[in-house]
Chain A
Amino acid sequence: MSDKPMLSLKNVTKAFYPGTVNEKIALNDLSIDLAPGDFVTVIGGNGAGKSTMLNATAGVFHIDRGSIMIDSVDITKLPEHKRAKYIGRVFQDPMTGTASNMQIEENLALAARRGKLRGLGWSITAAERKEFRELLSVLGLGLEDRMTAKVGLLSGGQRQALTLLMATLKKPKLLLLDEHTAALDPKTAAKVLEISDKLIAENDLTALMVTHNMKDAIAHGNRLIMMHEGRIILDVSGKEKQELTVEALIEKFSQTSGETFASDRALLN
């Protein structure tokens, strides 16, 4: 493991609707370093800035102040599609991560060219088809026999599993999972989480996973951060993280933020 961080956010600030009554400081002078191989779960109430942190990293919008580095490359000013070279993403809405009118294999072929210049070569080759079939069979969802089916026909869980595969097909330097199991039923969510764990471990990926489910946040990854009002208010890793409980997290939250944990979803899970 090298000393250089894989992801480094330095003093990142982002305000939405600046200068209006609706001004909202979504990220407030936020800094965090992720070491290579870190799998960090992110929790926090609604509006804490979890998704904003991921979207700022992915380049959905530009930040107001601060810098973002991936593996020592400054990506602060790069547009979203250029950052995709380094970043794999899975979204909350299963519809977002795939092209529903295109076939399963076509979607994978698009993902296989992430970070490469697209030219007039064929969009998919026979060798790729074979490779995709093998990769899909590992998911255990039977998708390997439906490679030419339109993705729109798949269930939410299948689409998220496919998106995960697409995000990791070209090994990314950073994997961003933005509540990617929130729209799924508990059983499917568990299966998708299991696939996520497996892909992250096998490819030795650095990952950030936002979740509303505290149990998941504790059970997965090697490090946990809690956000509140655009800052990180808790950052635990290693043994300390393994010993966390949901009750302890809620207690910590009210201590640090001076408020009670405001998300029903987090408590009910």
Chain B
Amino acid sequence: MVDILISGASQGLIWAILALGVYISYRILDFADLTCEGCITLGASVAALLIWQEVHPVLAVLVAFVAGCIAGIITGVLHTKLKIPPILAGILTMISLYSINIHIMSLATGTQGTANLSLLKFSSNVLYTKVGALMGMDKMSAAILLGVVICVAVIGLLYLFFGTEIGSSIRATGNNEKMCRAQGIDTDLTKIIGLALSNGLIAMSGSLLCQYQGYSDVNMGVGAIVIGLASIIIGEAIFSKAKNFMLKLTGIVVGSVIYRVVVALVIFSGMPSTDLKIMTAVVVIAALCLTGFFNKIGKRSSLDKRDQHVKDAKKEEG
């Protein structure tokens, strides 16, 4: 039982990186980006290929990040330069990545049409084994430690980045494009940078996942965006009072861990794992409805607050 919780938590920490990536496109840029589904597999396939070539696993993770950035840039260019609507631009990149991922994995085996790549023969060259050996821990503890360290680092870097001029421009782009252009912000560029960062993180999450589970599979990304959204929604529900950006990001990691632990428990209790996707969808639907409901209640009080502000302002003006 404890094992199940720990394994759920360690997977949650890996998927949290994906959820942070989805947060950048979905919440900050206001861009429903489906590139995500192909991108997590892209990260996994790139990392698997490199580990087969006996490249150091840390380098494999970094290269996967860069590959994800490129996928994000492609979606961004399809949208901003070729004027393709966001959802379609993401779907086009996602579907192209399906073929590309198979090509990447085929490079490792030398057989065309390789749809999955096992790391069984290379398990000594996997990040988790290496960290475990280095720290003298078992694989599960290493996964938790590594997961926490990576999440803290990513949150810290994102917090710093979104406090810079470029980061602030990206936030403003998701908020009001017209105002951005009037203030001299190239909104095409900010969208592309945001999507690159988002998909880089998603691919990074894929590269960690493939090392954790010991294989990359062309279908492993199906439903990934829904899982990311579920983590974001759970995190926001728990950290609903959070104003600070760092707390919001932390909430997403917590949401992702909670999601995975619940999934682990549900499967443990006997639900077939193939029903997981519909369960996730139902959770997201329920959460969206409930937040809509709570927002209505919340909005009433915040509207009152706003009215009060406006009244105060009028008083001052008049």
B317 touches A81 (CB 8 A): no
Q: With the chains together, A70 CA to B8 CA distance in Å?
A: 62
A120 touches B164 (CB 8 A): yes
Q: What B residues does A116 contact at CB under 8 A?
A: 184
Q: With the chains together, A155 CA to B305 CA distance in Å?
A: 12
A69-120 CB contacts (< 8 Å) to partner B:
79-82, 84-85, 89, 91, 95-102, 106, 109-111, 113-116, 118-120
Question: Which label, helix, strand, loop or mixed, suits the secondary structure of the B interface?
Answer: helix
B317 touches A123 (CB 8 A): no
Q: With the chains together, A15 CA to B168 CA distance in Å?
A: 36
In the complex, how many angstroms separate the beta carbon of B155 from the nearest chain A beta carbon?
A: 18
Q: Which of A114, A123, A141, A187 has the most CB of B within 10 A?
A: A123
A137-193 CB contacts (< 8 Å) to partner B:
141-142, 153-155, 157-158, 166-167, 187-188, 191
A96 touches B186 (CB 8 A): no
In the complex, how many angstroms separate the beta carbon of A73 from the nearest chain B beta carbon?
A: 15
B83 at the interface (CB under 8 A from A): no
Q: Which of A110, A122, A142 contacts B183 (CB 8 A)?
A: A110
B175 touches A97 (CB 8 A): no
Query: What sequence of 0s and 1s flags, for each residue 200-241 of chain A, a beta carbon within 8 Å of any chain B beta carbon?
Result: 000000000000000000000000000000000000000000
A96 touches B179 (CB 8 A): yes
A58 at the interface (CB under 8 A from B): yes
Q: With the chains together, A109 CA to B306 CA distance in Å?
A: 24
Q: What B residues does A258 contact at CB under 8 A?
A: none
Given A81-B187, A110-B168, A122-B164, A141 and B313 touching (CB < 8 A)? yes
Question: What total of A-B pairs shows CB separation below 8 Å?
Answer: 104
In the complex, how many angstroms separate the beta carbon of A59 from the nearest chain B beta carbon?
A: 8
B172's closest neighbor in chain A, by CB?
Answer: A99
B165 touches A84 (CB 8 A): no
A121 at the interface (CB under 8 A from B): yes
B316 touches A102 (CB 8 A): no
B318 at the interface (CB under 8 A from A): yes
Q: With the chains together, A163 CA to B306 CA distance in Å?
A: 19
B165 touches A80 (CB 8 A): no
B165 touches A81 (CB 8 A): no
B159-177 CB contacts (< 8 Å) to partner A:
161, 163-169, 171-172, 175-176
In the complex, how many angstroms separate the beta carbon of B28 from the nearest chain A beta carbon?
A: 10
Sample (12) of A-B pairs whose CB atoms are under 8 Å apart: A79-B186, A81-B180, A96-B179, A99-B176, A100-B176, A102-B168, A110-B185, A114-B183, A122-B165, A123-B163, A187-B318, A191-B317
Nearest 6 Cβ contacts at the A-B interface: A84-B184, A123-B168, A118-B165, A99-B175, A114-B184, A155-B310
Please report B residues at the A interface, Cβ cutoff 8 Å: 161, 163-169, 171-172, 175-176, 178-187, 305-306, 309-310, 313-314, 316-318
